[in-house]
Amino acid sequence: MRRSYLLSLVLVCFSLSTLAQDICYGSMKKYFANRGDTVAPLQIVHRSKNQMKLTGGADYKIFTSTQNESMDRYLRKRCFVVSTNKDSCSFVNCRKLRYKKLRFGNWYAPCVLLGNKLYFSAVPLGSVIGQSFVDFGDAKLGGSVGEALATCNLGSHRVLYVIDGATGKVDYVNQEMMKQLFKDHPEWIEQYSKKTTCESNVLIKYLLELKALEK
């Protein structure tokens, strides 16, 4: 009886340790092919506003809890996506990502995979996206002054981008693209049309709904 109990306890502990592991994908190709490497649980920390203001970059810093220098270097420079079992979340490394030749900076952004497209939340880049956050009175200025106003003080805002799994191209997810995603859900289009925000924390809720329907 005692031996059976101990064996059951060992199996439970083994199962818990297995479930606690995270998965790293070394490239976009491996991620879309679902060929990742299981690793020990990683530390995922939301960077402070001061850190992002001083050094730029994405919202999350990911590193090992054991201060493994080679693994930490891999996470910073080579890893493409980290998926964690703890919160069922995924994070894409922004280090090598570009939108119209503009850099997102280092570190990781939260992401959602739908089909062969990866959507992620990051800071607005460029004057075209920035204009979405300019007050109407400022937007009327136009020209270089209007563009300057559109691109400053955007550090606290987040919008959605998408990575095409076939080409690797990064695009900004505008309202028309969102409505196209909702083509099978007209009630969502109606709800979305009433919203005036471009913030990703609102839009990503719809993506999670679509993700749930995929299963």
Tens of pLDDT, residue by residue over 125-137, are 876 565 555 543 4
Question: What is the mean pLDDT of the segment spanning 138-150?
Answer: 44
| Phi, psi for 199 (deg, rounded to 5) | -65, 135
Question: What is the mean pLDDT of the segment spanning 91-99?
Answer: 95
Question: What is the mean pLDDT of the segment spanning 3-28?
Answer: 54
Q: Say yes or no to pLDDT of 171 above 70.
A: yes
The Cα 76–Cα 107 span in angstroms is 7
Q: Which of 131-140, 153-162, 193-202 has the lowest mean pLDDT?
A: 131-140
The Cα 36–Cα 22 span in angstroms is 10
- Element (DSSP H or E) covering residue 212: helix 200-214
Q: What is residue 43's three-state secondary structure?
A: strand
Which has the higher per-residue pLDDT, 79 or 86? Answer: 79
pLDDT, position 79: 97
Question: What is the mean pLDDT of the segment spanning 76-88?
Answer: 85
Question: What is the mean pLDDT of the segment spanning 99-122?
Answer: 93
CB within 8 Å of 182: residues ≥ 6 apart: 188, 189, 192, 206
| Residue with token string 């809890």 | 65
Number of CB atoms found within 10 A of residue 40's CB: 13
Q: Give the pLDDT band of residue 83 (cuts 50, 70, 90).
A: very high
DSSP-derived secondary structure letter, 115: T
Is the separation of the CB atoms in 93 and 108 below 8 Å? yes
Question: What is the mean pLDDT of the segment spanning 191-212?
Answer: 77
Number of CB atoms found within 10 A of residue 132's CB: 19
Q: Say yes or no to pLDDT of 46 above 50.
A: yes
Percent share of the chain, pLDDT over 70: 73
Q: What one-letter code names the amino acid at 183?
A: K
The Cα 92–Cα 166 span in angstroms is 16
pLDDT, position 149: 40
pLDDT, position 196: 61
The Cα 164–Cα 186 span in angstroms is 25
| Residue with token string 């880049």 | 125
Q: What is the pTM of this model?
A: 0.78
* Packed helices 186-193 and 200-214: angle between N→C axes, nearest 10 degrees: 170
Question: What is the mean pLDDT of the segment spanning 35-63?
Answer: 90
Number of CB atoms found within 10 A of residue 95's CB: 18
CB-count burial class (<10 Å; 0-12, 13-18, 19+) for 152: exposed
Is the separation of the CB atoms in 108 and 47 below 8 Å? no
